[in-house]
Amino acid sequence: MLTLPQFFFIYFALAIIFLAGMAVNVRNPVHSVLLVLAMFFHMAGVYLMLNAEFLAAVQVIVYAGAVLVLYLFVVFLVNIKEEIRLKRFIGSYTTGRVITIGMLATLLAAAWSFKLGPAGTWSIEAVREITHTRALGIEMFSHYMLPFEIAGVILLVAVVGGMALAKKDRNRATTTEERRALMRGEELGE
């Protein structure tokens, strides 16, 4: 007889595999994004089962709420009527299959040598006692302060880079008419 957590784990695991497979297989890219959305929710479910409630919430807010919506924007730009009629496989797809099956075999072979690592300071009870959010905060702002800051700086560089790219030459225009002309793609007369 399955216990309740086991039942839920098996459900989440099967659902993730099924939804991920479907996401690759459906022809309509918007449906694909929707299936990935459902998959992200199931992943959040797995995080919840691991007592990582903060991670589960962030998974939904960041991936489902922001990243995937941006994907959706990109997909909206695709002409879906043509996309559905496209040929699904390129000429070299047999090579791809061989590589994929090889990687799957490697993963499965490696799975047998899995060993549980030594227990750290954050046992399930310790995390439950002070809540996962606090535990994560304490770790992140003490032990992992430097990696955290470095990640922050890298993201900042990406933000500034994005702005620099998007801005282009538009600051050359001084009057509204000039700005409109630039937006239409015309060159400014001296």
Partner 1 sequence: MVIEILLTILLIVVVFSVIMLHVAYATYFERKVIGHMQVRMGPMRVGPHGLLQPIADGIKLFFKEDVFPETADKPTFYAAPIICLVAALTSIAVIPFWEGMAISDINIGLLFILAMSSLAGWGVVLAGWASNSKYAFLGGLRASAQIISYEIAMGLSIVGVMMMAGSLNMSEIVKAQAQSPFGIYAIPQVLGFFVFLVAMLAETNRTPFDMPECESELVAGYCTEYAGFRFALFFLGEYVGMIVMASVGTICFLGGWTGPFEVPFFPIIWFMLKVYFLIFFFYWVRATLPRYRYDQIMALGWKVLIPLALGNVILTGIMKTFVWH
The least distance separating partner 1 from the CB of residue 95, rounded to whole angstroms, comes to 34
- Our measurement of the distance from residue 71's CA atom to the centroid of its chain's CA atoms, rounded to an integer in Å, reads 10
Question: Contact, 169 vs 182, CB < 8 A?
Answer: yes
- Our measurement of the distance from residue 157's CA atom to the centroid of its chain's CA atoms, rounded to an integer in Å, reads 20
Cα dihedral sign, 131-7-119-150: negative
How many residues in the shown chain lie near partner 1 by CB under 8 A?
A: 23
User: Nearer to partner 1 by C-beta: 103 or 155?
Assistant: 155
Q: Is 15 in the site for partner 1 (CB under 8 A)?
A: no
Q: Is 39 in the site for partner 1 (CB under 8 A)?
A: no
Burial class (CB in 10 A: 0-12, 13-18, 19+), 133: middle
Burial class (CB in 10 A: 0-12, 13-18, 19+), 108: exposed
Among 34, 173, 181, 182, which residue sits at the site for partner 1 (rule: CB under 8 A)? 34
Q: Tell me how crowded residue 59 is: count the other CB atoms within 10 A of its CB.
A: 20
Region for residue 168 given its phi and psi (left: phi exceeds 0; alpha: psi -120 to 50; beta: otherwise): left
Burial class (CB in 10 A: 0-12, 13-18, 19+), 182: middle
Among 17, 50, 66, 140, which residue sits at the site for partner 1 (rule: CB under 8 A)? 66
User: Nearer to partner 1 by C-beta: 123 or 131?
Assistant: 131
User: Nearer to partner 1 by C-beta: 80 or 181?
Assistant: 80
User: Nearer to partner 1 by C-beta: 53 or 178?
Assistant: 53
Among 7, 11, 76, 148, which residue sits at the site for partner 1 (rule: CB under 8 A)? 76
Q: Is 57 in the site for partner 1 (CB under 8 A)?
A: yes
Q: Is 53 in the site for partner 1 (CB under 8 A)?
A: yes
Stretch that binds partner 1, among 93-101, 130-138, 149-157, 167-175 (CB under 8 A): 130-138
**Interface residues with partner 1 (CB under 8 A)?**
28, 30-31, 34, 37, 53-54, 56-58, 60-61, 64-66, 69-70, 72-73, 76, 131-133
